[in-house]
Amino acid sequence: MIKVNVAEIKKHLTGKKILQYDVEPAELDILETDLPVAGLVHIDGELSNVGDVLLLKAKVSAVVNRVCSRCLKEFTAESYGEVTEKYYPAGSPGVENDAYVYDADIVDITEPLRESLLLAEPLRVLCKEDCLGICPVCGTDRNVQPCSCDTGTIDPRLAALKQFIKY
Ligand SMILES: [Zn+2]
Ligand SMILES: [Zn+2]
């Protein structure tokens, strides 16, 4: 968990605290199964007093282990999220249920940082934009070695039909 003491910045408008941390993924509640981070998570931002609320602005980045969804190659890539969130003093009127609140002088900024990094990860990753993938016929990684299988026109339904005919 990352908690920031805001006693100083609460004292005057425009007060702010620079946030620069390198933390283990576990400190952001990020498990290997959530996101396989290689190394530390970098946080670079600020928490500032803008009047009624405290404003958190931060960039979150980490090197992540990925698996290409076309050729299944493992590789690493930088993942990068941005956070802009308001923190309301606990008990202030008209604050919605899902808003971030803080009590006394301590602000827990773990959740938005965690979320921004998890959401930054694409659902479908490619090792490169034009990855050729694995040939569905012979299983060759076509980035390494081109094969001469005819896969261009086979749609899965037709492929199933062909198999049916063969036997
Ligand atoms: Zn690939
Ligand atoms: Zn092939």
| Cα 153 to ligand 2 centre (Å) | 13
If you measure from the C-alpha of residue 66 to the centroid of ligand 1, how many angstroms do you get, rounded to a whole number?
10
Q: How many domains does the chain have?
A: 2
Same domain, 110 and 157: no
Residue type, 91: G
Question: What angle is formed at CA 59 by the lines to CA 56 and CA 50, rounded to 5 degrees?
Answer: 20
pLDDT surpasses 70 at 159: no
**pLDDT score of 103:** 87
Same domain for 61 and 103, yes or no, is: yes
Is position 103 within any domain? yes
φ, ψ of residue 58 to 5 degrees: the values are -155, 155
Domain holding 52, by residue range, is: 3-120
Distances (CA, A) of 95 to 55, 91, 99: 15, 8, 7
The pLDDT, as a whole number, for residue 125 is 92
Does the residue 126 lie in any domain?
no
From ligand 2's centre to the CA of 148, what distance in Å?
Answer: 6
Q: Is residue 127 part of a domain?
A: no
Residue 135 Cα, ligand 2 centroid: separation in angstroms? 5
Do 136 and 115 share a structural domain?
Answer: no
Among positive and negative, which fits the CA dihedral 87, 89, 90, 96? Answer: negative
Grade residue 58 by pLDDT with cuts at 50, 70 and 90.
very high
Check whether residue 38 and residue 113 sit in a common domain.
yes
In a domain, 9, yes or no: yes
3-state SS assignment for residue 106: strand
Q: Are residues 25 and 73 in the same domain?
A: yes
Nearest ligand, measured from the Cα of 154: 2
Query: Residue 91 pLDDT > 90, yes or no?
Result: no
Is 59 in a helix, a strand, or coil?
strand
In the prediction, which pLDDT does 112 show?
A: 96
**Closest listed residue to residue 50, CA positions, set 23, 80, 85:** 85
How much is the pLDDT for 101?
A: 92
CA of 15 to the centre of ligand 1 (A): 47
